[in-house]
Chains A and B, each alone.
Chain A
Amino acid sequence: MEKYNLFQKVWRHHSVGLLDNGQTQLFVGRHLIHEVTSPQAFGMLREMNLPVRYPERTFATVDHIVPTDEVKEPYSDPLADAMIKELRENCAKTGVTFFDIDSGKQGIVHVVGPEQGLTQPGMTIACGDSHTSTHGAFGAIAFGVGTSQVRDLLATQTLALSPLKVRRIEVNGHLQPGVYAKDVILHIIRKLGVNGGTGYAYEYAGDVFDQFSMEERMTACNMSIEGGARVGYVNPDEKTFAYLNGKPYSPKHENWEKAVTVWSSFASDKGCDYEDIVLFNAADISPTVTWGINPSQAISVEEKIPDPRELTGAEASSAIEALDYMKLSAGSDIKGTAIDVAFIGSCTNGRISDLEEVASKLNGHKVKTGVKAIVVPGSQVVSKIAEEKGLDEIFKNAGFEWRNAGCSMCLAMNPDKLIGDQLCASSSNRNFKGRQGSPTGRTMLMSPLMVAAAAIRGEVADSREVFSN
């Protein structure tokens, strides 16, 4: 019998046919939208006089522009206010389900999809947002698209696409204590490069991914795009099914058994072909921190900031540019770099398990005076669970601000921004120049626990030392 990987199976299952230019017309079963990339698409649809073809397959939330300290509308920013109103109206007119602010379900689109059970194995999922790769944690083929493609999806539920090659990335062995999914993915990107994955889907596997919880798998898949891979996925297994069981949009009753059988059939066949296979040893991974202006510019917290003179070619020139921007000096310890802001949140690390892990260690610790530390839950569901468990109090007692759900300081399209050249220890996914709202603001990416360690020490610190007792 022919053997196929998950990507190939899902692709074939959703393929409508070939287009004139040789691309595939791919049916996208689940479409997620948010306020930043959808209004222009609805506008294009109106201009072309086209209806939304399958409104029941599109779900909307508002995340990027929502203030996390005020809930009341109108928002103080009139542009943000116009965007939420536009989305609300577009959804109401076309019959698209909208998880509005008062729904109790609002949040970052990549947190909301899985927790509502909208993300399931074997699906094709698209969203006008590059971190859509997150949903691959469930064994779905999920990818970010541009706004014209959001239009194509609304109008036809299909896209013109070319298939990807599949690279299997295995991380085997055991992670050291204090090393998290975030460190694993930063390590992978450091080794394979920010465009190492161009043209590829990454299939994550091995002992570490087998043992990871669904939320840890989401953290890793989330950052696939930072390695240039548009898609990242993990084959569905018992953990996937257990996570989905009972979620609001998961199949129910007699449909459940059938769904699990179909879902299982999408997993990559043993012995199937891959374009290539890359192996990592879990023991080589330490708590990791970025020092530069792209996510591959990362080192373990024990290392020294690289010296561009020891690098060659493009790596050297981009290191010079990065150190200049980051105001860091080559050859010094990354540990001890003073920070101004600490941000725990985003679609990478704003889930309940992230908050629980940090809260479990905070006892007796306080955020260093002068450091602004904020926790922004990934969704209202996450907020609610956290508050029921009293995590908000633990964070507040330790000196963190406890905010409402949204993207917040991940890209600062709302009022949460860095000021001047402030340096932020951040659990988000991008450290590009100006990413956190100030054109000279600086970002260091790390795991949530490392962010907390930095907040407490006021400088980059090894979480294993800070939380040793």
Chain B
Amino acid sequence: MPLEKISQVRGQAVNVPGDDIDTDRIIPARFMKCVTFDGLGEYLFHDVRYDSKGQPRDHSLNDPRFANASIMLSGTNFGCGSSREHAPQSLYRAGFRAIIAGNFAEIFFGNSINLGMPCVSISEDQRKQLAGIIEESPELDITINLLDSKIHASDHQFAFKLKDGARESLINGKWDPIDELLGKGEAIEEVAKLLIYK
């Protein structure tokens, strides 16, 4: 099945400040008891969004101004911690289609690209500026353009970093590798035969 060619992501953005936001923060482990990923979006950032009585706290994800956001802005080392795809899945299922951060933990990054959810990196200065713009005009649609590798937010532009391979696979609609992997059946068998272990 051909995949969507993702050359840009456009939408409202929300700032979730903080460095080292780990996968347990994105989706607490107790919500991972599931046999499908459906419904995970509901628990996104649960423990920072709600207090122990389930009452919403002061958090940008609870702010009605950002309720329709599909792009998340955050700090450095976003998605560190576990390899569980539950974290990017919960972001995706909560409606997020791209993440902007200082940088990303490797497994999280790979998992997100596999979902067709670009993760782009910008500097601290750029993040501050962008956060200011979002705060000032929450309704503003910003565009993450993979073709010119820039974030466009009204008159501002921020050059971002995204690993070449990832960028190309998104643009070419090859972000999910399964078809290409499946296509190499014979070559796979050749390698398997040479191994001393079964």
Q: B-contacting residues of A (Cβ < 8 Å)?
A: 13-17, 19-23, 25, 27, 29-30, 36-37, 39-40, 43, 48, 50, 53-54, 56-57, 65, 77, 79-80, 82-83, 86, 120, 122-123, 128-130, 132, 144-149, 151-152, 155-160, 162, 194-195, 198-199, 225, 228, 230, 251, 258-259, 262, 294, 314, 317-318, 321, 411-413, 430, 432-435, 437, 439-440
Contacts and interface: CB of A to CB of B under 8 A. Distances in A.
Interface in B70-95: 75-77, 80-86, 88-89
A145 B107 contact: yes
Contacts of B188: 16, 25, 27, 53, 156-158
Top 5 A-B residue pairs of the complex, sorted by shortest distance between their CB atoms = A144-B83, A146-B85, A146-B111, A79-B33, A160-B177
25 contacts: A13-B194, A21-B166, A25-B184, A29-B197, A37-B84, A39-B35, A40-B85, A53-B188, A56-B198, A57-B198, A83-B35, A128-B83, A129-B82, A147-B85, A148-B176, A155-B181, A156-B184, A158-B188, A160-B181, A230-B106, A262-B196, A314-B76, A413-B30, A430-B24, A430-B81
B33 A65 contact: yes
B135 interface: no
A317 B111 CA distance: 28
Given A40-B37, A160-B177, A22 B164 contact: yes
Interface string B82-118: 1111101100000000000001011100110011000
A433 B25 contact: yes
A312 to B, nearest CB: 14
B172 interface: yes
Given A20-B180, A258-B196, A228 B106 contact: yes
Contacts of A314: 19, 75-76
Contacts of B197: 29-30, 120, 123, 251, 259
A230 B108 CA distance: 11
B32 A36 contact: yes
B29 A412 contact: yes
A133 to B, nearest CB: 10
Contacts of B75: 314
Interface centre among B77, B106, B192 (most CB of A within 10 A): B106
Given A17-B187, A294-B20, A413 B32 contact: yes
A152 B181 contact: yes
Interface centre among B172, B187, B195, B197 (most CB of A within 10 A): B197
A25 B181 contact: yes
A363 B103 CA distance: 49
Contact of A195 (B47, B82, B105): B105
B83 A29 contact: no
Nearest to B47: A439
Contacts of A317: 19
B33 A156 contact: no
Contacts of B88: 146
Nearest to B104: A198
Nearest to A433: B25
B52 A148 contact: no
- The number of chain B residues touching the other chain, given as a range, is 35 or more
Interface of B: 18-20, 22, 24-25, 28-30, 32-37, 47, 52, 75-77, 80-86, 88-89, 103, 105-107, 110-111, 114-115, 163-166, 168-169, 172, 174, 176-178, 180-182, 184-185, 187-188, 190-192, 194-198
B68 to A, nearest CB: 27
A15 B64 CA distance: 49
A130 B192 contact: no
A40 B83 contact: no
A17 B184 contact: yes
A302 to B, nearest CB: 26
Interface centre among B25, B35, B85 (most CB of A within 10 A): B35
Contacts of B37: 40, 147
A123 B83 CA distance: 20
A80 B81 CA distance: 22
Contact of A230 (B81, B107, B174): B107
A194 B77 contact: yes
Interface centre among A43, A147, A228, A433 (most CB of B within 10 A): A147
A412 B178 CA distance: 33
A198 B84 contact: no
Contacts of B89: 147
Given A25-B188, A146-B84, A146-B114, 15 more contacts: A19-B180, A25-B181, A25-B187, A36-B33, A50-B182, A128-B84, A132-B83, A155-B181, A156-B184, A158-B181, A262-B196, A314-B76, A430-B24, A430-B81, A440-B52
A413 B77 contact: no
A122 B197 CA distance: 10
Interface centre among B103, B169, B192 (most CB of A within 10 A): B192
A151 B178 contact: yes
A132 B107 CA distance: 12
Contact of A156 (B34, B165, B182): B182
Contact of B115 (A23, A145, A148, A156): A148
A27 B191 contact: yes
B112 to A, nearest CB: 9
A329 B31 CA distance: 32
Contacts of B182: 50, 155-156
B20 A318 contact: yes
Given A128-B83, A194-B77, A432-B24, A146 B110 contact: yes
A40 B35 contact: yes
A413 B184 contact: no
A225 B105 CA distance: 10
Contact of B24 (A36, A57, A433): A433
B181 A156 contact: yes
Contact of B83 (A16, A83, A130): A130
B183 to A, nearest CB: 9
Nearest to A417: B30
B168 to A, nearest CB: 5
A123 B192 CA distance: 12
A250 B35 CA distance: 33
